[in-house]
Amino acid sequence: MKTSAIILLICLMPLALSTEVEEMSTMTAKAADAVDAALQVLYDLRQANYDAQDAADERNKTNQAACDAEIADLWSIATSNKATGDAATAQRKYFEAEIASTEASLAWIDSRRNDIRARQAELQDQRCFSNQIFVRGLADFTGSLQALDLLRNDLFPAAGRDSEASLAEIKEKASAKLSQYKHLFNEQAMAAFEQLASTETSTVSAASEGDLETQINSLLDTLESHLETALANSESNEVQAAWQLAAWLNDSDDEVENLNDDEDRLNVYLDKINIAVQAARAHENKAWEIYFQSSSNYHNAITTCIWKGEAYLEDKHVRADETALIDELIKLFKEQVARL
């Protein structure tokens, strides 16, 4: 319906009424026919408005259903795309974490290997020094045994010349002689001899104690036994230390070999992860690009549906105003007819 048709009727209405008044006496039938025709036009216009509004209501209902379905579909698509983007981001972060962890493991392997090599060098230096000390100790033991032989040769003639000499005196003389060779004896051997020399025999004569040379020999044999025991212990300790170092060196070499294998394996894995993270970043960027586009489509659909709804309401208000105007005209025409 055109609004101009209504305006035309409004303009013609005074003319029709004026003509009807002037020719009332002669053209009553024609005036009535004109009013009826005008009313019919108004009725038709009003009905056309009703029909147009019904059609608009139906279209709006259809559009609303289509909008709801489209928005729901786009929301589902956007939600799915966001989940894909989140998964892509999680995968990229996982690869980055793996890279950091692998690099940390490689750094630890390098540090551990350096520590082992440094410890190996340190222990080998210590072993060399210990070997030197051991060899020097062997020389000292040999010198100590030679000193005991010299001491026997020096003491025994004196004991034979002085058969009445006390064992304590002989021991005292032996201690004095030993002090001359003190640098050849370790502290433990000297302490052992001094303990023997301090036994309660200082006043016992050779006659009551038996053969003096035998007792002196026994004393020196005891000292020699202490020296030999110390030598055996030193040799045993040296061998045990050497075996322990050899075993530790073998174990440490095995550990270094394992570390080297782990390093090779981790380097291969690191190369793969570095390639994978690049692909993951590209996939992540594409996934979020798709999501943002789907999110834009979703919001655009909402905007379009809102615009359609607002246009529908605006047209509805216009038709309502037109219908109200038509109803007012119909009322005026009816009032004029009533006055005829």
pLDDT per position as a tens digit, 31-56: 666 667 777 888 888 899 899 999 99
- Interval 16-34 mean pLDDT: 54
The answer to whether position 234 is within a domain reads yes
User: What whole-number distance in Å separates Cα of residue 188 and Cα of residue 301?
Assistant: 101
User: Which residue, 254, 268, 260, 258, is CA-closest to 102?
Assistant: 268
* Mean pLDDT lowest among 85-99, 208-222, 309-323: 208-222
Note whether residue 223 is domain-resident: yes
Alpha-carbon separation of residue 98 from 7, 89, 269, 272, 282 (angstroms): 80, 14, 10, 11, 18
Query: Token pair 């782990």 is at which residue?
Result: 262
Residues 214 and 252: beta-carbon distance below 8 Å: no
Rank 54-58, 184-188, 241-245 by mean pLDDT and report only the highest: 54-58
- The pLDDT tens digits of the residues spanning 294-332 come to 999 999 999 999 999 999 999 999 999 999 998 888 888
Which one is predicted more confidently, 250 or 271? 271
Within a domain: 309: no
Mean per-residue pLDDT over the chain, rounded: 78
Give me the mean pLDDT over the 106-119 stretch: 93
Residue 87 scores a pLDDT above 60: yes
pLDDT at site 247: 84
| Residue 51 in domain | no
- Give the residue numbers spanning the domain of 252: 122-279
CA dihedral 35, 41, 45, 50 (to 10 degrees): 80
Instruction: Give burial (CB, 10 Å; 0-12/13-18/19+) of 135.
Output: exposed
Which residue type occupies 82? K
- Residue 123: which pLDDT band, with cuts at 50, 70 and 90? confident
Give a yes or no: residue 96 inside a domain.
no
Please compute the mean of the pLDDT values over residues 205-233 and round it to a whole number. Answer: 66
Q: Tell me, yes or no, whether 3 lies in a domain.
A: no
Q: How many CB atoms lie within 10 A of CB 293?
A: 13
Spatial distance between the Cα atoms of 39 and 33, rounded to a whole number of angstroms: 10
Which region among 40-49, 59-68, 206-215, 330-339 has the lowest average model confidence (pLDDT)? 206-215
Number of domains in the chain: 1
Give the pLDDT score at 265: 96
Q: pLDDT band at residue 220, thresholds of 50, 70 and 90?
A: confident
**Which residues, other chains included, contact 121 with Cβ-Cβ below 8 Å and sequence gap of 6+?**
none
Please tell me the predicted confidence (pLDDT) of residue 43. 87
